[in-house]
Amino acid sequence: MGSGTDNGARATARGAGRLDWLDAIRGYAIILVVGIHAAAYSFIPLDALGGWFGFLLSAATVPLFFAADGFLISRRLDEGRPPRWRDVPRWAKRLLLPFLIFSLFYAGLRWIGESRGLLAEHLIPVDDPLALLVTLYRTPHAQNLYFLPALFLVRLAALPLIPLMRHGIAMRVALLLAAIGLNLAARATFLAPLLSAPVLDPVVYLFWGLPLFLSGLVLARLAPLVAGREAMVGAGALLLAALAQARGLGSLFIVYPYLAGLMALGRGLLSGDGRLARTFAFLGRRTMGIYLLHGPLFLKAGQMLVSKAGLAGWPGFFALWGFGFALGLAATLAVERLRLDGLLFGAPTPRPRKARHHSAELAGDQSAPRCGEA
């Protein structure tokens, strides 16, 4: 009896540590997500951000949230708690409810702006219910929200694959390669019209996100093999990604080494109790709120303030980035203070002690851009 309790305590501690460093990685990633959106509101194309800076900002920011979710699903499999169809309602509450709430909220703000002549472009077709539903689904008024339904679809698509995921790493690699091939084939055929549309359709990101999700399961199997050498392996993987970027190779040769490098470095450098690790983990546990709240409202307000201050180009971009992130975080903390995070964000924001105590329960949800689940 005592031995079993000790083993369970050690397992919980191990799970909590892994959760902490994944939270820290998500904290790093959500900062970059806000930066990508700030670039759009600064009218700076990502291609114009500069070679290495643009590479660091955008190469694997959103993919990291998909991969983190796959990593956590792998942990559930290892603990004998595989995802099941009965988990779908909880996923819907965690992902689709915040998507619906904030789609309606931002659509309402957009409609007020349009009806009062503050916004010249009319995106909210209030006189056509069907068109309004399509608008809410594709969220052209708040395009960053696409990630939540996309991750929900990725989890649904992964459920039938759970029996195969139980096998060794060879099967997981085979699933990853098959998903990459499926994504490429879909983009070359029936997804092609959606790729050129001026909206972000979650179905597109289902096909893109599934292989990224599966890469997390592969990395979870590789993690024990590099234990104690994470920093060296992570630096090597990032170097490979940088070389692929410098040589203009395809995204497959850039994103996956970059993901592996970030995950390894995060596990090696952000697993402790240092100030940097704790700061990133603090942000990582609030990625859902920051993700939902930083834009478009705060970024649009920041855009006007930056313009009035006469800032343009790079100074305006960095000012808007800091403004949007600071207000997104402040609003998230205010929602927590009012104890509305469970309603608005799909689940209460986990505190460190609670996250350790309920690590098993939260394992499949922390990636939503905690953003993740992002």
Tell me: the pLDDT tens digits for 39-89? 888 877 766 666 677 777 877 788 999 999 999 999 999 989 999 999 999
Q: Given pLDDT bands bounded at 50, 70 and 90, which one contains residue 369? A: very low
pLDDT band at 158 (very low <50, low <70, confident <90, very high): very high
Per-residue confidence band for 312, with pLDDT thresholds at 50, 70 and 90? confident
Q: What is the pLDDT, as a whole number, of residue 50?
A: 64
Quick one: pLDDT at residue 325?
A: 97
Instruction: Pick 341 or 142 by higher pLDDT.
Output: 341
- Residues across the chain: 374
pLDDT in tens, 89-122: 999 999 999 999 999 999 999 899 888 888 888 8
State the pLDDT at residue 273.
83
Helix (H), strand (E), coil (C) string for the chain: CHHHHHHHHHHHHHHHHHHHHHHHHHHHHHHHHHHHHHHHHCCCCHHHHCHHHHHHHHCCHHHHHHHHHHHHHHHHHHCCCCCCHHHHHHHHHHHHHHHHHHHHHHHHHHHHHHHCCCCCCCCCCCCCHHHHHHHHHHCCCCHHHHHHHHHHHHHHHHHHHHHHHCCCHHHHHHHHHHHHHHHHHHHHCCCHHHHCCCCCCHHHHHHHHHHHHHHHHHHHHHHHHHCCCHHHHHHHHHHHHHHHHHCCCCCHHHHHHHHHHHHHHHHHHCCCCCHHHHHHHHHHCCHHHHHHHHHHHHHHHHHHHHHHCCCCHHHHHHHHHHHHHHHHHHHHHHHHHCCCHHHHCCCCCCCHHHHHHCHHHHCCCCCEECCECC
User: Which residue did the predictor score with more confidence, 224 or 14?
Assistant: 224
Using one digit for the tens of pLDDT, what is the confidence trace for 255-302? 999 999 999 999 888 887 889 999 999 999 999 999 999 988 899 899
Cβ proximity of 311 and 319 under 8 Å: yes
Q: pLDDT (tens digit, 9 = 90+) per residue, 132-156?
A: 888 888 888 888 899 999 999 999 9
Among 255-264, 274-283, 310-319, 357-366, the range scoring the smallest mean pLDDT is 357-366
| pLDDT score of 52 | 72
Q: Are 287 and 30 in contact (CB under 8 A)?
A: yes
pLDDT score at 197: 78
Q: What angle do CA 104, 106, 110 make, to 5 degrees?
A: 115
Query: pTM of the prediction?
Result: 0.87
The distance from CA 221 to its chain's CA centroid, rounded to whole angstroms, is 21
Q: Regarding predicted confidence, which is higher, 110 or 331?
A: 331
In the prediction, which pLDDT does 352 show?
A: 62
| % of the chain residues with pLDDT over 70 | 87
> Could you report the per-residue pLDDT of 7-41, keeping only the tens digit for each?
333 333 344 444 689 999 999 999 999 999 998 88
